[in-house]
Amino acid sequence: MGAHYTLQIAGLTRKLKICALNEKIDIAAFILFSDVELTEACARELIAKVPKCDYIITAESKGIPLAYEMSKQMHVPYIVARKSVKAYMTDVMSVKVKSITTSSVQTLYLDGEKAAWMKGKQVLIVDDVVSTGESLHALQQLVKQAGGKIAANAAPLAEGDAINRSDLIYLQQLPLFFKN
Is the per-residue pLDDT at 100 higher than 90? no
Give the whole-number percent of the chain exceeding pLDDT 90: 87
Give me the mean pLDDT over the 139-153 stretch. 97
Contact 67, 100 (CB under 8 A): no
Q: What mean pLDDT value characterizes the chain? A: 94
pLDDT digits 0-9 by tens, 52-68? 999 999 999 889 999 99
Give me the mean pLDDT over the 131-160 stretch. 95
HEC string of the chain equals CCCEEEEEECCEEEEEEEEECCCCEEEECCCCCCCHHHHHHHHHHHHCCCCCCCEEEEECCCCHHHHHHHHHHHCCCEEEEECCCCCCCCCCEEEEECCCCCCCCEEEEECHHHHHHHCCCEEEEECCEECCCHHHHHHHHHHHHCCCEEEEEEEEEEEHHHHHCCCEEEEEEECCEECC
Query: What is the pLDDT, as a whole number, of residue 1?
Result: 55
Bridge partners (DSSP) of residue 168 are: 153
Query: What is the pLDDT, as a whole number, of residue 2?
Result: 76
Query: What is the pLDDT, as a whole number, of residue 180?
Result: 77
Torsion angle of C-alpha atoms 156, 160, 163, 167, degrees rounded to 10: -80
**Which of 4-13, 84-93, 115-124 is the least confident region?**
84-93
Query: Which residues, other chains included, contact 75 with Cβ-Cβ below 8 Å and sequence gap of 6+?
Result: none
Contact 51, 22 (CB under 8 A): no
Quick one: pLDDT band at residue 171, thresholds 50, 70, 90? very high
For the chain, the residue count is 180
Query: What is the pLDDT, as a whole number, of residue 4?
Result: 96
* Intra-chain end-to-end CA distance of the chain, in Å: 22
Q: Which of 104 and 137 is assigned the larger pLDDT?
A: 137
Give me the mean pLDDT over the 92-105 stretch. 77
Query: Which residues, other chains included, contact 148 with Cβ-Cβ below 8 Å and sequence gap of 6+?
Result: 55, 118, 119, 120, 121, 122, 123
